[in-house]
Amino acid sequence: MSEGPRILALGGASLLPSSNDGALHQYLLDLTGLERPRICFLGTAGGDSPEYLASFYSFFASRAEAQHLALFNRQVDDIERLLLEQDIVYVGGGNTANMLAVWRTHGVDVALKKAWEAGVILAGPSAGANCWFESSLSDSFGPTLFPLRDGLRFLRGSFCPHYDSESLRRPRYQELVGSGALPDGYAVDDGVGLLFAGRELAEAVAVLPETRAFHVERRRGNDAEEVPIRPRIVR
């Protein structure tokens, strides 16, 4: 039985065997309460990269009923039906702006909203986390980090992934939240996930104890304050 709308927004996570992030992905599978949940991969942000797709199947195929939805060589007529049949939709990283544009062209945005409301868990790292919020800090437009303001708006506020692994992320996100160019939101290190039940934060999880998450809030004088969120370690 569905537990209602849920989203797992990951600051950054790898599917490679050498990564520590397998525990985060197992946590995602465990959220379903099923032995072999159905999971569908959307690799749109990476241009449906064959390498990313192979990494997805390498991790998930032995643990779940895995499939994917390609949009650059589309083979599926009824996208809404496909997504509503899943227990999880996993969105890969890459270019958030391009992904959103392609999704809207194919009606994936509408199908995802219906799936989310029906209790299908939505998840993903980087672009696969940015997309669920009103806005995000994105490198979609080049090496300079810009605010992206046309997210799907399933979740309130803004999101910043890779808070620890890309040196420009933290000062730029604080600058934009402090100035009001981005609304208050969540900043998340790689290897950390935020689980939302409905539109409310339910818990933070991480694979390493030194990784962090914050709610970043605008203060007077164009300043931003980081309010720490303590993640629970998953193994």
Q: What is the model's pLDDT at position 62?
A: 96
CA neighbor of 161 nearest in space, from 192, 120, 182, 132? 192
Between CA 231 and CA 234, with CA 232 as vertex, the angle to 5 degrees is 125
Look up the CATH number of the domain holding residue 169.
3.40.50.880
184 within some domain: yes
105: amino acid identity, one letter: T
- What's the domain count of the chain? 1
Q: Is 1 a domain residue? A: no
Is 126 catalytic? The answer is yes
Q: How high is the pLDDT of residue 91?
A: 98
Which residue in the list 68, 135, 158, 162 is annotated as catalytic?
162
pLDDT value for 3: 82
Q: Distance between CA atoms of 94 and 71, rounded to whole angstroms?
A: 15
In angstroms, the CA 28 to CA 88 distance is 8
| Residue among 87, 32, 31, 38 at smallest CA distance from 60 | 38
Q: What is the pLDDT of residue 2?
A: 64
Give the separation between CA 105 and CA 101, rounded to whole angstroms.
6
Active-site residue identified among 14, 55, 126, 136: 126
- Is 207 among the domain residues? yes
pLDDT at 11: 96
Sheet holding 185-188, edge to edge: 146-148, 133-138, 155-160, 185-188, 213-219, 223-229
For residue 136, give the H/E element and its range. Answer: strand 133-138
The range of the structural domain enclosing residue 107 comes to 6-233
Asked if residue 167 belongs to a domain, the reply is yes
Residue 188 lies in a domain: yes
Whole-number pLDDT of residue 1: 46
Residue 148, domain member (yes or no) = yes
- Give me the tens of pLDDT residue by residue for the chain, a chain 235 residues long: 468 999 999 999 999 988 999 999 999 999 999 999 999 999 999 999 999 999 999 999 999 999 999 999 999 999 999 999 999 999 999 999 999 999 999 999 999 999 999 999 999 999 999 999 999 999 999 989 999 999 999 999 999 999 999 999 999 999 999 999 999 999 999 999 999 999 999 999 999 999 999 999 999 888 999 999 999 999 8
Residue 68 annotated among the catalytic residues of the structure: no
13's tokens: 């996570």
Please state the length of the chain.
Answer: 235
